[in-house]
A and B are shown apart, each in its own frame.
Chain A
Amino acid sequence: MAITKETVLHVARLARLELGDDEVTTMQRDLAKILEHVEELGRLDTSGVPETAHVAAEQAPLRPDLQQPSIPTDTSLAEAPRRAGGGFAVPAFVDE
């Protein structure tokens, strides 16, 4: 599987990662090498084998649906890089 520069940039965009030009080259090389190793799975016949998404043995247990105290707003916002009123402030993301 050839990993092109465009593939790296496409995936980086999906992952909301900005990469410098040097980084794109390094990642292209590293991903190609890792994927080449991963290709060996292709040699394995897995037809009819069910998928393991999780190893938890039982069903997730249910707890009683009771109201419980939660973290106060001020505590939740204490580490916010920027806050406005009672919320997290972010740069504009719609055209004004």
Chain B
Amino acid sequence: MAAPLDLTMGDLAATVARGDVPALEIAKASLDRITAGHELNAFLHVPEAPLLAAARSIDEKRARGEKLGPLAGVPIAIKDALCTHDAPTTCASRILTRRGPDGRPSTPANGWRPPYDATVVARLRAADALLVGKTNMDEFAMGSSGENSAFGPAKNPRDPSRTPGGSSSGSAVAVAGGMAFAALGSDTGGSIRQPAALCGVVGVKPSYGRVSRFGLVAFASSLDQVGPFARDVEGAARVLSVIAGEDPRDSTSAQVPLGDYLAACRRDIRGVRIGLPDEYFAEGLDPEVEEAVRRAVARLEAEGASVRPVKLPHTRYGVATYYIVATAEASSNLARFDGVRFGLRIEPEHGDLTAMYGATRDAGFGAEVKRRILLGTYVLSAGYYDAYYRKAQRTRTLIRRDFEAAFRDVDVIATPTSPTPAFRLGEKVDDPLAMYLADVYTLPASLAGIAGLSVPCGATRATSERPALPIGLQLLAPAFAEEQLFTAAAAVERLSSA
């Protein structure tokens, strides 16, 4: 038998449920892997004692003869934007930490301790998963490279001089680096799909409303969605099956029945109608990425899928629309970080309340978060609201209509996830606009609220400059049609590894 950490997720859960391998052994092996991968900076906090206690309690439950949950003993990492009652939650921001009593710089260890678990975290615990740690990210999920973390960037396991993508960087690294079987991330404009592509793992952005956001620190509330990373498509389907579904604590969680995502992975691709939008194969697309994506789609066609062109004419307005809508919402959501109730507080001597707000937010937020708060405040301010915010909301309607029209003719849309493979750390840090343009293929689906997924479909050729880098294929489906994504993604996975 393969070592437990090298099994598939389904086999591991079955092995633990049978009692062949204790959950405690899996937990300890995961901690060893995390220690070995330390230099990748994937984790901000690894709550060792609660992890080992949870593993023991899973083993005791089984010893009592109780049936274990569907993720029994499966090591899963959690993006640090999700609340955990037994581990600090910082969003990789200093504003969610306290200064040490001696005035030392704040660290994740003295991060905010939430009084509750996010619903998705509670559901993973109830499924007997092992929560191995809180992962690094761009501060408040704002970024595409992980470099906006206040605690240093996570690094791509394929080439540590390169970015793993972002904002859910540590979650992608934890899975790609073998430190966890799966991870949770959040995707506001591509923050699950893009790092999944750059790290060579599967990442799912469920439809808006599919998964509860209770306990997810809010960035842009009309866009944010929680979703899984996993080593393979089936693993992602297993985790989504556990976390998805209506939650009375989140009024935006939808009362729409769940699909059978695992069964969908095993469905035939024959007869599935796949759309290829010209607008996603445009200037700026790396030739090797284009080649790999087109080759994967051709293989689906050879297996009996029907492939046809579709038009998404407002794609080019996605970046501008997103950076108005998302920053406007962020400027409002991040108003709650004011030093009053939790986290950092800086009280200037003889200062009043306003001075405390200003000083706390200046010291607590990094440059990108400040930039977005300023931009969002600007586009909502008197005199500019119509020109920017209202205009963007109307453009958002046009982008939604593009997808509605396209999905009248096809079941799924296939595109590159990212225009390039993993870029170098530092390459885009001085140019915010260039960084924003890295998300050009993932933003429109977020604005439309539809379902998306990134699945590995190949790699670049290794050169003397760089090793082979993973390439991701993005699949998009109408809202709540995640099953169609899993059917197509499983076929891409099977045919790409053949």
Contacts and interface: CB of A to CB of B under 8 A. Distances in A.
Interface of A: 7-8, 11-12, 14-20, 23, 26-27, 30-31, 33-35, 37-38, 40-42, 44, 46, 49-58, 60-61, 63, 71, 75-76, 78-82, 88, 90-93
A15 B344 CA distance: 17
17 contacts: A17-B365, A18-B361, A19-B370, A27-B370, A37-B433, A40-B316, A40-B317, A46-B394, A50-B397, A51-B393, A55-B449, A60-B251, A79-B113, A79-B342, A79-B343, A88-B340, A91-B351
- Chain B interface, DSSP helix/strand/loop, else mixed: helix
Contact of A56 (B252, B339, B351, B378): B252
Given A16-B358, A23-B370, A55-B448, 11 more contacts: A7-B378, A15-B373, A16-B357, A31-B375, A35-B375, A49-B398, A55-B208, A76-B115, A81-B340, A92-B353, A93-B352
Nearest to A28: B374
Given A41-B391, A46-B395, A17 B341 contact: no
Interface of B: 98, 112-113, 115-116, 208-209, 222, 248, 251-252, 254-256, 314, 316-317, 319-321, 323-324, 331, 335, 338-345, 347, 351-359, 361-362, 365, 367, 370-371, 373-375, 377-378, 381, 387-388, 390-398, 400, 432-433, 436, 447-449, 479
Given A14-B381, A18-B358, A33-B432, A52 B324 contact: no
Given A41-B321, A41-B392, A46-B395, A57 B362 contact: no
Q: Which of A8, A37, A52, A88 has the most CB of B within 10 A?
A: A52
A34 B432 contact: yes
Contacts of A55: 208, 222, 400, 448-449, 479
Contacts of A58: 254-255
Contacts of A7: 378
B113 A78 contact: yes
Contacts of B433: 33-34, 37
Q: Which of B208, B370, B392 has the most CB of A within 10 A?
A: B370
- Chain A interface, DSSP helix/strand/loop, else mixed: loop
Contacts of A23: 367, 370
Nearest to A39: B320
A7 B432 CA distance: 20
B352 A92 contact: yes
A26 to B, nearest CB: 7
B466 to A, nearest CB: 29
B249 to A, nearest CB: 10
Nearest to B249: A63
Question: Closest 4 A-B residue pairs measured CB to CB?
Answer: A55-B449, A81-B345, A51-B393, A93-B353
Contacts of B248: 63
Contacts of A42: 387, 391
A44 B317 contact: yes
B432 A30 contact: yes
A79 B358 CA distance: 20
A16 B374 contact: no
